Chains A and B, each alone.
Chain A
Amino acid sequence: MNILVCISVVPDTTTKISFTENDTKFNESGVQFIINPYDELALTKALEIAEKNNGNVTAIHVGLASSEPSVRKALAIGAESAVRINKQPSDAQEVATLVAAYAKDKNFDIIFTGRESIDYNSGQVCGLLGALLNIPSINVITQCSVEGGKATLERDIDGGRETIVCSMPFVASAQKDLTEPRIPNMRGIMAARTKPLEIIEPTAVDGFSKHNQYELPKPKAAVKMIPAESAGDLIKLLREEAKII
Chain B
Amino acid sequence: MSVIVYAEINNGSLKKSALEAACYGAQVASIMGVKCHAVLVGNAGEASSELKKYGISTLYQVSENGDFNPDFHADAIKAAANACGATVVVISNSYSGKAIAPRAAIKLDASLVSNAVALPSSTNPFVVKKGVFSGKAFAFVTLEKAVKMIALTPNSIDLKEIAGGEAQLETLQVESASTAYTVTETKVQSGEIPLTEAELVVSAGRGMKGPENWGMIEELAKTLHAATACSKPVSDMDWRPHSEHVGQTGITIKPNLYIAIGISGAIQHLAGVSSSKVIVVVNKDPEAPFFKAADYGIVGDAFEVVPKLIEAAKALS
Residues of A whose CB lies within 8 Å of any CB of B are 11, 13-17, 19, 37-38, 91-93, 96, 118-128, 130-132, 134-140, 142, 152, 155-167, 170, 175-177, 206-217, 220-221, 223-228, 231-239, 242, 244-245
Given A14-B267, A235-B313, A238-B257, check contact A128 B106 (CB 8 Å): yes
Given A14-B267, A208-B144, are A124 and B112 also a contact pair (CB < 8 Å)? yes
Please tell me if the beta carbons of B103 and A130 are within 8 angstroms of each other in the complex. yes
A17 and B139 CA atoms in complex are apart in Å by 12
Q: Which of B102, B179, B296 is in CB contact (< 8 Å) with A224?
A: B296
Known: A93-B111, A124-B114, A231-B309. A136 touches B179 (CB 8 A): yes
Knowing A177-B242, A212-B142, A223-B292 are in contact, say whether A238-B194 is a contact too (CB < 8 A): no
A244 & B70 in contact (Cβ 8 Å cutoff): no
Of the candidates A37, A38, A139, A215, the one whose C-beta lies within 8 Å of that of B137 is A215
Residue ranges of B at the interface with A (Cβ–Cβ < 8 Å): 10, 15, 68, 70-71, 74, 94-96, 98-103, 105-107, 111-115, 127, 129-145, 178-189, 192-194, 196-197, 199-200, 224, 235, 242-243, 245, 248-250, 252, 256-257, 267-268, 271, 274-275, 277-282, 291-301, 304-305, 308-309, 311-313, 315-316
B96 and A214: CB pair below 8 A?
Answer: no
Interface pair B96/A244, CB less than 8 Å apart:
no
A136 to B103 Cα, complex, angstroms:
10
Q: Is the CB of A208 within 8 A of B134?
A: no
Q: Report A97 CB to chain B, min CB distance, Å.
A: 9
Residues of B within 8 Å of A123, CB to CB, are 98, 114-115
Counting chain A CB atoms within 10 Å of each CB, which of B106, B186, B189, B298 scores highest? B106
Contact status B112-A208, CB under 8 Å: yes
Contact B186 A160 (CB under 8 A): yes
Q: B6 CB to closest chain A CB, in angstroms?
A: 14
Prevailing SS type, chain B contact patch: mixed
A220 to B274, CA, bound (A): 10
- Contact present for B309 and A158 (CB under 8 Å): no
Q: Can you list 5 A-B contacts (CB < 8 A)? A: A127-B102, A158-B15, A220-B292, A231-B298, A235-B309
Q: How far is the CA of A160 from the CA of B243 in the complex (A)?
A: 9
Cβ–Cβ contact A121 & B182, under 8 A: no
Q: List, in ascending order, chain B residues with CB within 8 A of A130's CB.
A: 70-71, 102-103, 179
Nearest A-chain residue to B316, judged by Cβ: A235
Q: Considering the chains assembled together, what is the distance between the CA atoms of A235 and B293 in angstroms?
A: 19
Bound complex: CA A79 to CA B278 (Å): 45
Apart from A139-B70, A223-B294, list 14 A-B contacts with CB within 8 A. Answer: A11-B133, A13-B271, A93-B105, A121-B131, A128-B105, A139-B95, A142-B242, A157-B186, A164-B181, A214-B138, A214-B139, A231-B312, A232-B311, A234-B312
Q: Give the distance in Å from the alpha carbon of A88 to the alpha carbon of B155 in the complex.
A: 32
How far does the alpha carbon of A206 sit from the alpha carbon of B96 in the complex, in Å? 27
Contact call B316/A215, Cβ cutoff below 8 A: no
User: A176 contacts B99, CB within 8 Å?
Assistant: no
Contacts of A228 in B (CB 8 A): 298-301, 304-305
B133 touches A14 (CB 8 A): no
Instruction: List, in ascending order, chain A residues with CB within 8 A of B179's CB.
Output: 130, 134-137
- Of A152, A170, A214, most B-chain CB atoms within 10 Å: A214
* 8 Å CB contact of A234 from B103, B189, B309: B309
Please tell me which one of the listed residues B136, B242, B300 contacts residue A176 in the complex, with CB atoms under 8 A apart.
Answer: B242
A126-B316 Cα distance, complex, nearest whole Å? 46
Give bound CA distance, A125 to B105, whole Å. 11
Complex interface: chain B residues within 8 A of A157 (CB) = 95-96, 186, 188
Q: How far is the CA of A155 from the CA of B200 in the complex (A)?
A: 25
Q: How many Å lie between the Cα of A138 and that of B67 in the bound state?
A: 13
Q: How far is the CA of A206 from the CA of B132 in the complex (A)?
A: 23
The answer for the CA separation of A37 and B113 in the assembled complex, in Å, is 22
Q: Is the CB of A170 within 8 A of B181?
A: yes
Known: A164-B183, A176-B242. Is A214-B293 also a contact (CB below 8 A)? no
How far, in whole Å, are A166 and B139 apart by their CA atoms in the complex? 36
Give the residues in chain B near A11, CB-CB below 8 Å: 133
Q: Is the CB of B132 within 8 A of A93?
A: no
Contact A212 B140 (CB under 8 A): yes
